[in-house]
Amino acid sequence: MKVIYTAAHAGAALNVPIGGGGAIARMLSEEWAQTQPFELEVFRPAEPAEDIVRYTQSQYTSFCYRFRRYATNRILREDPAQCVVLANDISEGPDFEVLARHGYRVFTIWHVDVLAFVMRMYGRGWIKPETAARWMRPFEPWLPGPLKLVFDNQHKCVRYSTGHFVMTDSMKQTILACYPETNPAKIHVTPWGASPVQGVGVRGQPGILTLSRISPEKGQHRLLEALRGYKGKARVVIAGEAAFMGGEAYLSKLKRIASGLPNVDVSFPGHLSGQAKLDAFASADLYVFPSLSESYGLTLLEALSHGVPVIAWDHDGAKAIVQPEFGVLVSNEKQLLAAIEALMADPERRKRMGEAGRAYSAQRPFSKAAAQLANVLLSTATLR
């Protein structure tokens, strides 16, 4: 059997802040290249990832439609009886309706529920995703470009895909609430798990680490705002490159806040990979995950695999991972500051939490998730 994997963020170099979708595309491709459960062909865009992460909203919307046309046309050259399509994206995915009508079996990975994310990020949580989905359904065919990707494209993804892979049960329940006609058996809950640690870091000056692309939804400002009240001395590393809409302006905002923190030394080393990333985790006393919303939390698991205790904002992605034995969930800057102060003052507790986190991640290898995805795809192929 052949699996065609369409991934708009695949192929990026490790130093490009393309996000979790790109990381998963790379990790799945590498894992399946080793285990070879099926023939795999990856369809990726011709546009360099370095350009994609700098696109404005209108440019990125155009990119989504270009890649949809490209991926759909490439898939239509394949025999639907001999292949299964795995879409790594929703907004950047192929034309789900066209492929279904031509007899293709399409599975979609939900790195993010686009509708739910937009409601949290821009709707401030005032409107539930299922309410927005119901209100907008009659207007989906006539919505302008960006909104059409959010509402119409996601609805068609749910309706026409053979199955879906999500990371948490809460994401599954949100999808079912937004699209109640969906068969729950189509939605496979598959947490990603952790990749094995490659190499050993060298410990430098200890401190607090957060690692992700620099973008408003990642919430690094929450960490800095919380540290306004920190009484002791602290070193903070905010690793990552500015990317996607608003990234550069947000980085400037973070640097302005950081300059006003007299007791806190904040550094912005940019994107870290290889030995530099290993060294950053080796030096971290705490890993802070302040994202506004996440479907999962790959860097949380990465921190745990390095034995670093975590503090995360209380959202569905973090709840699926963080447990009291190795982490703390917070809901506001005051709670974040209290958690930082308590853990920084208690090295023995940090050590115990680090050991518990390392054990937790070791029991959840990424290879297990990749095998689960492969088994679902293979079982579907045998139905014909």
Residue 221 has pLDDT above 50, yes or no: yes
User: Can you count the helices (H) and strands (E) in the chain?
Assistant: 17, 12
pLDDT digits (tens, 9 = 90+) for 294-329: 778 889 999 999 999 999 999 888 999 999 999 999
CA atoms within 13 A on the CB side of 36: 1
Give the global pTM: 0.93
**Percentage above 90 pLDDT, the chain:** 77
Rounded Cα–Cα distance for residues 211 and 236 (Å): 11
Tokens of residue 93, six digits: 């995915």
Query: What's the mean pLDDT in 248-263?
Result: 94
Q: With a cut of 60, say whether residue 383 has pLDDT above it.
A: no
| CB neighbour list of residue 247: distance below 8 Å, 6 or more residues apart | 53, 213, 214, 215, 241
Where are any strands of DSSP class E within the chain?
Answer: 2-6, 39-43, 83-87, 106-109, 163-166, 187-189, 207-211, 234-239, 264-270, 284-289, 310-313, 327-330
Residue 63 pLDDT: 96
The mean pLDDT of the chain is 93
The whole-number pLDDT of residue 382 equals 57
Q: Give me the half-sphere count of Cα atoms (radius 13 Å) on the Cβ side of residue 98.
A: 13
* Residue 173 pLDDT level (bands cut at 50, 70, 90): very high
Residue 64 sits at the vertex; the CA angle it makes with 39 and 215, to the nearest 5 degrees, is 105
pLDDT at residue 195 in the model: 85
For position 217, what pLDDT does the model report?
87
| 347-357 pLDDT per residue, tens | 999 999 999 99
Pick the CATH number of 207-362 from 3.10.20.740, 3.30.70.20, 3.90.660.10, 3.40.50.2000: 3.40.50.2000
Residue positions counted in the chain: 384
Q: Cα Rg for the chain, rounded, in angstroms? A: 21
Buried b (16+ CB within 10 A) or exposed e, 127-166: eebbebbeebeeebeeeeeebbbbbbbbbbbbebbbbbbb
- pLDDT of 145 strictly over 50: yes
Calculate mean pLDDT across residues 133-150: 93
- Judged against a pLDDT cut of 90, whether residue 207 lies above it is answered with yes
Helices (H), 81-200: 96-101, 114-121, 129-136, 145-148, 154-160, 169-178
> What pLDDT score was predicted for residue 117?
86
Q: What integer is the mean pLDDT of 354-380?
A: 95
Which of 31-40, 107-116, 209-218, 237-246 shows the lowest per-residue confidence on average (mean pLDDT)? 237-246
330-359 average pLDDT score = 97
Residue 384 pLDDT exceeds 50: no
Q: How do the domains of the chain map onto residue ranges?
A: 2-192+366-381, 207-362
Interatomic CA distance for residues 111 and 382, integer angstroms:
27
List the single range of 9-18, 56-65, 101-110, 316-325 with lowest mean pLDDT.
9-18
CA triple 93-97-101, angle to 5 deg: 130
Query: Is residue 181 over pLDDT 50?
Result: yes
Specify the pairing of strand 264-270 against strand 327-330: unpaired
Average pLDDT over residues 162-174: 95
Share of the chain above pLDDT 70, in %: 98
Whole-number pLDDT of residue 381: 67
Domains 2-192+366-381 and 207-362 belong to one CATH topology: yes
As a whole number, mean pLDDT of residues 212-239 equals 93
Average pLDDT over residues 258-273: 92
- What angle (nearest 5°) sits at the alpha carbon of residue 46, between those of residues 44 and 52? 90
Topology (CATH level 3) of domain 2-192+366-381: Rossmann fold (3.40.50)
